[in-house]
Homo-oligomer: A and B are copies of this chain.
């Protein structure tokens, strides 16, 4: 009914205050303790104490005194310590596995994508391969003096987030796979509990931290692959709906009385703008057989046709763009985003699909808002979800450093 509120004790208070200070440090680094006291409203004493704790935990560092040219004692600059703690992002997708290590400064410290035809393959084998990738990533982090605080795993399908149980992954042909258990069994325990989320949601978050960032405001990130999903991000948080199925853009009806869809409806967006549908309409056969040999899958063939000006391909893609715009218009009316980000296949096809999509969107997007939202194209590559996953770990550490204090102290060294 109402938001549950947890009791606050002294420890909780300190944890939140650590987060407040760390937040200001990330925002303003390098920054002096005195300035932190100003902006947070804490006394200098309190800030000093909080910074000391954060420094002990390896989350911030002192950069030595900086003479500011003004008079008075020079400040010692405090900034985020990117050399101790890192986040791990993992991704399972139809044609690749990916791992990514990000330090607290969101610099990529390790990134590994391996092509793999996972469709229909034994889930245990695939997760075992992912586990090896994770081990390598953790080792690579350790080589750089980084200890991995936690991991987030991107999975392509509907899942139980807490336990990492994949309920169905239509494109993989999997159902009810205990991906989380399998993964964690083969991995050393990390300070923060592992988390699992839909690939589309994490790709959307990746856009927040590696794409146009805060400029996006509230946004809808369209991640079309085989299916078409949308990640809805408001206030830096993913909107999931009641059961985590929000953003099913692919099954919004754009053509009542159109082709029947597996979902039971007719004329779903996926039937017109899904990767297979586009390839079929463009006259490219056997869209299903994804060959990991060709880097972009069957899409590269389509792009070649488009670049050559093939009329049939152009029409197919324009048609897809138009339908996408129609579905997005519904999304805009219901969700009122600032921005639409085209990701997945649509970022590749954007040069040809976007004009039609924008026109259709403008034609049906709300009376009160005034103008339709901006439409941008994702510049992130294929492993956007792995990137977003790793960044989410970093975000959790920065957003609640207290969680690490009890466990952390990276490689350990007893105090003298």
Contacts and interface: CB of A to CB of B under 8 A. Distances in A.
Interface string A335-365: 1111000000000000000000000001111
How many copies make up the complex? Answer: 2
A213 B336 contact: no
Given A240-B336, A242-B217, A244-B336, A256 B23 contact: no
Interface of A: 1-10, 12-13, 16-17, 19-20, 23, 40-42, 158, 168, 208, 213-214, 217-218, 230, 232, 234-237, 239-249, 251-256, 261-266, 268, 326-327, 329-331, 333-338, 362-369, 395, 398-399
Contact of A234 (B241, B248, B337, B338): B241
Given A248-B368, A253-B326, A262-B367, 8 more contacts: A2-B395, A7-B16, A247-B334, A254-B256, A261-B367, A265-B329, A327-B330, A330-B330
For A1, A208, A329, A362, the residue with the greatest tally of chain B CB atoms inside 10 Å of its CB is: A1
B364 A265 contact: yes
List 3 A-B pairs, minimum CB-CB distance, nearest first. A241-B336, A263-B367, A218-B242
B249 A334 contact: yes
Nearest to A333: B248
B218 A241 contact: yes
Contacts of A252: 329-330, 333-334
Nearest to A217: B242
Contact of A7 (B20, B217, B242): B20
Given A241-B336, A243-B369, A253 B364 contact: yes
Contacts of A337: 241-242
A355 B52 CA distance: 65
A7 B245 contact: no
A239 B236 CA distance: 14
B2 A7 contact: no
A305 B244 CA distance: 43
Given A1-B214, A5-B19, A335 B256 contact: no
25 contacts: A1-B208, A2-B23, A4-B23, A5-B16, A12-B13, A13-B13, A158-B368, A234-B239, A239-B239, A241-B336, A243-B336, A243-B338, A245-B336, A245-B366, A245-B368, A248-B336, A248-B368, A251-B364, A252-B329, A252-B330, A253-B330, A263-B366, A264-B364, A330-B330, A335-B335
B261 A336 contact: no
Nearest to A263: B367
For A4, A19, A330, the residue with the greatest tally of chain B CB atoms inside 10 Å of its CB is: A330
A10 B217 CA distance: 33
A193 B249 CA distance: 39
B334 A398 contact: no
A248 B335 CA distance: 8
Nearest to A247: B334
Contact of A251 (B5, B214, B367, B398): B367
Contacts of A218: 241-242
A255 B261 CA distance: 19
Nearest to A157: B368
Contacts of A266: 363-364
Contacts of A217: 242
